[in-house]
Amino acid sequence: MNHDVSKQRRRLLQASLTAAAAATLPPLRAAATAPPFDAIVARTPQPGARTFASVGEAIAAAPMEGRAPFRILVTRGRWHEKLVVDRPNIHLVGEDRSGSVLTFDAAAGMKRPDGEPWGTWGCASVTVRAPDFRAQRLAIENAFDYVGNLATPKFEPIGPNGAQAVALMLDAGADRCEFDDVDLSGHQDTLFADAGRSLFRSCRISGSVDFVFGGGNALFEDCELHSRFRPGKERQGYVAVPCTPARQPHGLTFLRCRLSRDALIPDASVALGRAWRPGRTFADGKYGDPDAVGAAAYLSCWMDAHIDPKGWDAMGYTARDGKRVMLEPELARLFEHDSRGPGAHQSPTRRQIDPTQLAMYTRERVLAGWMPEA
């Protein structure tokens, strides 16, 4: 009897040691069963693949018409580069989610090398303009000092203030883009999902003003949407700000996400979002695009008490006659279903998805037939 118990204890001990050893393996080992990397970004040469000193150089080494994934391992480090992905099938895989960081610090009001301002459409740390991009287990940030700029503005305003500082932009040409276990960090305009279909799984997106925005079709599954503190601001921020084209059924769709906050953010000080009508140039002038009828939906999301009970805010735009008017939430497609937590409220201003329309929010329907691998 004692002998059997002793053997059982040895087996349990061995099993626990094996599990502990597996848990301490670096993330690079976990990817060993995946296809080999085509390139490695590292400070020193690495065995097994071509080594590049920058992420930009590794992307430039990929085929212009790549039909197979070009897999790039990004080792631990802060890679200060302004990146444009203009080749299809680029896959960026970080060695460590918090340690492999793609970073830049351009804001809309800052000047480009040619002396002109970057603008919102040009300031992103990473811009994707090609299909089938994938990022996994890394961080993308815009490190612009937003809070410092609130106290001491450093440039001429572009739009409302010039402090728009995009971390990631999905631009024209992007489609079928996947993000798994990725941290996106900024303040104003962190994620600009403006084109194509994209899927974000188990990601963390942090910011304050309009920090998930654009006209693309983006699905967020099991993500954290974290609101950051803005000193001296009564309205601390806005989460989802879509400018979805009227013909497009879906815009920004959040499924089983968690809306969290910095400790200093007061209750009821952050809006679920607002609909954006960006200015476009037409034959008869420049004014808010009437075709932009923003679509955003929160489904089975948990919300902390920083979310305002009224839910959504209006947003100003320039009308065709040149007057400044407000786009009210009820004129856009802004909805919820099964919201939970202290920030979830039932009120006339927080419209619920009709139960008969819930079938429209399956992954296959939202992503218009694109079915990413699990």
Quote the pLDDT of residue 43. Answer: 94
Q: Is the pLDDT of residue 221 over 70?
A: yes
pLDDT at 10 over 60: no
Cα separation, 295 vs 314, in Å, equals 14
Contact 211, 237 (CB under 8 A): yes
pLDDT, position 11:
43
Domain positions in the chain? 77-365
Q: In this predicted structure, what is the pLDDT of residue 248? A: 98
- C-alpha separations of 281 from 248, 287, 290 in Å: 21, 7, 12
Q: Which residue has the higher pLDDT, 202 or 150?
A: 202
Considering the entire predicted model, what is its pTM? 0.90
In whole angstroms, what is the distance from residue 120 CA to residue 108 CA? 5
pLDDT at residue 34, as a whole number:
60
pLDDT digits (tens, 9 = 90+) for 11-58: 433 333 233 333 333 344 344 456 689 999 999 988 878 999 999 999
Integer Cα distance of 352 and 27 in angstroms: 41
The count of residues in the chain is 374
> What is the model's pLDDT at position 153?
84
Q: Which of 191, 138, 166, 178 is nearest to 27 (CA)?
A: 138
- pLDDT value at residue 155: 77
Residue 185 has pLDDT above 90, yes or no: yes
Mean pLDDT along residues 160-187: 96
> Looking at the predicted structure, is the pLDDT value of residue 232 above 80?
yes
State what percent of residues in the chain have pLDDT above 70.
90
Q: Render pLDDT for 102-132 as a digit per residue (tens, 0 to 9).
A: 999 999 999 999 999 999 999 999 999 999 9
Proportion of the chain in helix, strand, coil states, percent, rounded to 5: 15, 35, 50
Kindly report, residue by residue over 143-167, the tens digit of the pLDDT.
999 999 998 887 777 767 899 999 9
Average pLDDT taken over every residue of the chain: 91
Token look-up 């959504």 returns: 312
User: What is the model's pLDDT at position 265?
Assistant: 98
Please state the CATH superfamily assignment of the domain spanning residues 77-365 in this structure. Answer: Single-stranded right-handed beta-helix, Pectin lyase-like (2.160.20.10)
Q: What is the pLDDT of residues 253-267, one digit of tens each?
A: 999 999 999 999 999
Paired tokens of 285: 């002038």
Hey, what amino acid is at 315?
M
Rg (CA), the chain: 22
Q: Is residue 84 over pLDDT 90?
A: yes
User: Among 12-16, 48-52, 279-283, 286-290, which stretch is predicted with the lowest mean pLDDT?
Assistant: 12-16
For the four alpha carbons of 259, 196, 141 and 294, in that order, the dihedral sign comes to: negative
Q: How far is CA 93 from CA 104, 219, 221, in A?
A: 18, 21, 19
Active site residues: 189, 210
Q: Which helix (H) or strand (E) holds 206?
A: strand 204-207
User: Is 17 exposed, middle or buried, given 0-12, 13-18 or 19+ CB atoms closer than 10 A?
Assistant: exposed
Q: Which of 257, 256, 149, 152 is nearest to 209 (CA)?
A: 149
Angle of CA points 357, 359, 361, to nearest 5°: 90
Give the ranges where 140-221 is alpha helix by DSSP (H): 146-151
> What pLDDT is recorded for position 47?
82
* Percent of the chain residues past pLDDT 90, beyond the cut: 84
Q: What is the pLDDT of residue 78?
A: 98
